[in-house]
Structure 1
């Protein structure tokens, strides 16, 4: 399950989840009970309570755990400057609302007996720890578990039910046709041999010589895509084969643009030097200014419309859950 909507807290990394529910009733109850206990262990009573959700307390300790980390990040980003008090108050209020939302969702997930497997949990923990975290493992595990359960709840109840069909996408396309107008565009592929500006002249000559040999292979008829996969030092070239897609003027650096727009379809350029190194370019298509065909933008339109609908549907669903819950925010705590 891919985490699509940011309903959980900023302190835990976004997780790519692949969820499943335990099929055996007893195993499900046992896992559910164990996970609930581990989550509750991190939420033990503390002197202050900032809010309650159906009589479940959200403590000052929980709030401060996240608040301290958010403020530390902001301070580091602002070169050690303290966060203004009015901004701290805004962040505090927002975190309380996030904790309330998460608790509402977690209680709903418990009601629906949603669990995550140990394998999923361990994979998520390993991924976070690999990226680096200052949260102790005994604290991190229940946090991640709670987030994963909540994410799974939202995925199962909302996200998985949202779709956009071709007819809806085409209706959007026709209503927003101006958005799909484009100037003159070309489609090109390239091969890059990297050279840094401060590299020695000897290294630059060596790179240029290598590029000349690759160009000879291309001019002799060897497949340009395969050459790009084999030789190009552009990140991702092994997957894309050097394909840059369609682009207009003003997108690429000047020397690259000038060479690319000067080619005929199927033609391969001379060696082009940019700040990135040495390139050869092959022009694969050219089109005049006009409107991008629906067939070329359909998938993007559907994806964007679906994301928009997901945001709206998730918000409406969460708002409904919160309206039905008994939520108390303690006076004087915000």
Structure 2
């Protein structure tokens, strides 16, 4: 029997994620101590919490929330209890971080290296977003040209849409289990011959949890996506017909083909977003290479 899924502790999961974000922010701030000083904060900004000289202001809290996923941002901005919990987590993290600084853990070589690496990642991300974020959008003409010049990439082979009923049979099944599976498949064939619905029988008898609640519907698939025995039977069956029993490593199947699509070239409208994403990635890669070439001319680089 399949076990029931556990209920998720949403609050715990949310704040575990938040803690990770705050830890990164704390390490970054500790690597730039001047940012922690009170005189660097707006005089009119409300202080929500303070640990030593480090203050959490409403503006800083808003910036921290801005770094989080949109759904979490909405939750934190609409739920006072969650905001309080976030502030409490900030206090906890800063207490631990300040003790680490007081005991000079931040000066240990490995810790120093990790802090520097985190700082560099933040700076690299910020600069790349600033420089590459202003790239012009990919032109429709460029998308159309790519589509025409790479037409083979968008050719789709023959596809079938099929339902199936699976009666599982282990590879090491004994004679009794094999006979039971054979009789079950035979019984289902008889029911289908008597006009019973394939979808209804799939919901009642199929042992494929991924498709049984959809009437056994597997959607469209191409050659190479299914095990060979299943694929051969599906592509050999005409739409509206049901295959003879097919044995695979999963067990016994009955396959009912619903539809068949001939090979085709996918229309531009269907793949334009994918092409645009590819071209944008290429543009960004070229822009990054250009930026690196410029920086190599600006700063001395030595590699041994």
Report the TM-score when normalising by structure 1.
Answer: 0.44
If you compute each CA radius of gyration, which structure gives the higher value, 1 or 2?
2
RCO comparison, higher one (Cα < 8 Å, 6+): 1
